[in-house]
Amino acid sequence: MGLIVVRPEPGNARTVARLRAGGGDVLAWPLFAAQPVAWDVPDPAAHDALLVTSANAVRLAGAGLARLAALPVIAVGAETAAVARAAGLRVAAVGASG
């Protein structure tokens, strides 16, 4: 039985490569493309931290993200944490499992 990977890029290609390297029969089929949207940056004083569940959230946040840089980041995983650090954010915690 094969697998279909539906996550957006850039994660789709990496996931497919890992699965194929492990011998998987894998089809890359991203169902959507992550794109930036306009957003109003909230007042950082009204929040304790940023819970970041996707590296794409950081990649696509735009210049407004800098206003939140004083808040600690709780990242869903290692890649999200690395992207957050590269964007100048302070990562306080990184998830490692479900």
The reported pLDDT for the residue numbered 97 is 78
How many angstroms separate the CA atoms of 41 and 14, rounded? 31
Interval 37-85: pLDDT, tens: 999 999 999 999 999 999 999 999 999 999 999 999 999 999 999 999 9
**1: pLDDT confidence band, cut at 50, 70 and 90?**
confident
Q: Outline where 1-98 has alpha helix (H).
A: 11-21, 55-59, 78-86
* In the chain, domain spans: 1-33, 36-98
No. of H helices and E strands in the chain? 3, 5
56 neighbors 9 (Cβ within 8 angstroms): no
